[in-house]
Amino acid sequence: MSFNLDIAGRRALVTGGTKGIGAAVVAALLDAGVRVMTTARSVPETPIEGVEFFVTDVSTAAGCANLTNAVLEQFGGVDFIVNVVGGSTAPAGGFAVLDDDEWWAALNQNLMAAVRIDRALLPSMITQGCGVIIHVTSIQRELPLAESTTAYAAAKAALSTYSKSLSKEVSPKGIRVVRVSPGWVATEASVAMAERLALQAGTDYEGGKQIIMDSLGGIPLGRPARTEEVADLIAFLVSARASSITGTEYVIDGGTVPTV
Ligand SMILES: NC(=O)c1ccc[n+]([C@@H]2O[C@H](COP(=O)([O-])OP(=O)(O)OC[C@H]3O[C@@H](n4cnc5c(N)ncnc54)[C@H](OP(=O)(O)O)[C@@H]3O)[C@@H](O)[C@H]2O)c1
């Protein structure tokens, strides 16, 4: 049995493709012969060969509009939208430090970026009668860390509910909508965080990793996921191998979520 994904020549928009999970998704899709456009707020030090790159801030309405116009102009439509951008810059300190600006920042980055991009590109997918939309959520939507990520976790929960509703509306039109929910992933930023925590606690990198895993209640597999592992799952999900999968969520967390 061959496991060829058979997605060569398809057109993909991957948001946030210069670092972390997004960079791995870009690499996996390129490897499979997909034409890829990606975004970031800053130009990467080393250009990503073979990729259309668009500098934009997708947490703003104007940034999303400029991006989706560029996708339609350069690709004439799109087959896969992989909404990767998300994250949290909120300070620690629980509900009291989350003023309206922090809440809007979390919602704009983790929910509205995907809503605006999907809304602008879905008409072309509906016209062609096919397409796949991936929303990268987080296990924090069901396992929030109260001290530090309340707004982020709530925004990811909203993204999940939006994703489910959208799938009900557009799946009958040939467009699949799927969520990928990572636990801790060893991105450049999270490795740096483990190193910082290790320094503060007077321990080594392995000790720093353990602090993060303990804060999540442990990871049964004993390690974070690799970015390539998340990217492989996404590459499979956009392919016709996954053609009966829509409206659902794939958790990739080494067993972190403790409940069924
Ligand atoms: N890492 C984890 O452990 C983990 C766990 C669960 C879920 N997730 C989710 O997975 C996704 C990717 O996370 P990651 O850790 O891989 O991210 P990352 O390493 O921080 O990379 C983020 C990427 O997105 C770009 N970006 C960030 N904000 C942007 C904006 N407003 N507009 C355009 N581009 C933007 C960044 O480039 P610039 O900075 O130049 O803009 C970069 O290319 C997020 O949705 C996150 O919530 C991650």
The pLDDT profile of the chain, 260 residues, written as one tens digit per residue, is: 457 899 999 999 999 999 999 999 999 999 999 999 999 999 998 888 999 999 999 999 999 999 999 999 999 999 999 999 999 989 989 999 999 999 999 999 999 999 999 999 999 999 999 999 999 999 999 999 988 899 999 999 999 999 999 999 999 999 999 999 999 999 999 999 999 999 999 999 999 999 999 999 999 999 999 999 999 999 999 999 999 999 999 999 999 999 99
Domain span holding position 72: 11-185+225-252
* 209 belongs to a structural domain: no
Domain count for the chain: 1
Q: What sign does the CA torsion over 242, 72, 25, 33 have? A: positive
230 lines ligand 1 (CB under 6 A): no
Asked whether residue 100 is assigned to any structural domain, the reply reads yes
Q: Residue 204 and residue 256: Cα distance in Å, rounded?
A: 23
Is 22 within the bounds of a domain?
yes
84 CA distance to ligand 1 middle (Å):
6
CATH number of the domain where residue 147 is located: 3.40.50.720
Residue 193 lies in a domain: no
Please work out whether the CB of residue 167 comes within 6 Å of at least one atom of ligand 1.
no
Within a domain: 38: yes
pLDDT of residue 165: 98
In a domain, 18, yes or no: yes
CA 18 from centre of chain: 12
Query: Which pLDDT score is estimated for 2?
Result: 59
91 within domain boundaries: yes
Output the pLDDT for position 147. Answer: 85
Judge whether 259 lies within some domain. no
